[in-house]
Amino acid sequence: MYKELSSGVKISITRSISTSFEAYLASIGWEEDRFSMEDFMKFWQSYFTENAAWYEKIPQDLLINPEFHEEIAQKIDEVIEKILNEEPTEKQIETIEDLQKQLGTNYTYSCKAEAAYIEQLLKNQLNQ
């Protein structure tokens, strides 16, 4: 079912998952102990119903089909795994190290998306 969607719709679904996942993690400060898959799913559902064009392009009977839900759940797992396993860039690492020296902080991060969050957090602290 998911595989039968146009490539544009699949790309849009993937983008909505990654965008909302990163936004959800930012909303909880990337604190693992605060993560709830149920809360993330609510966050994502709110995101795609309000912001994603792909939602209106999928027939209602497909949206309520349990098999489609299983395929989407698998896609969510794949996107999350990819985000969490993407290494921070050298530039991110250098920038964060420099900012932490200036601010006297010691934040840790394990992936590119979390590094982007930490970098922005540090830049905001520096500008205050």
pLDDT in tens, 109-128: 999 999 999 999 999 999 98
Q: What is the pLDDT of residue 53?
A: 85
What predicted TM-score, i.e. pTM, was given to this entire model? 0.91
Query: For residues 85 and 111, is the Cβ–Cβ distance under 8 A?
Result: yes
Q: Can you give the pLDDT at residue 24?
A: 98
Domain boundaries, the chain: 2-85, 90-126
Interval 76-103: pLDDT, tens: 999 999 999 999 999 999 999 999 999 9
pLDDT in tens, 36-49: 999 999 999 999 99
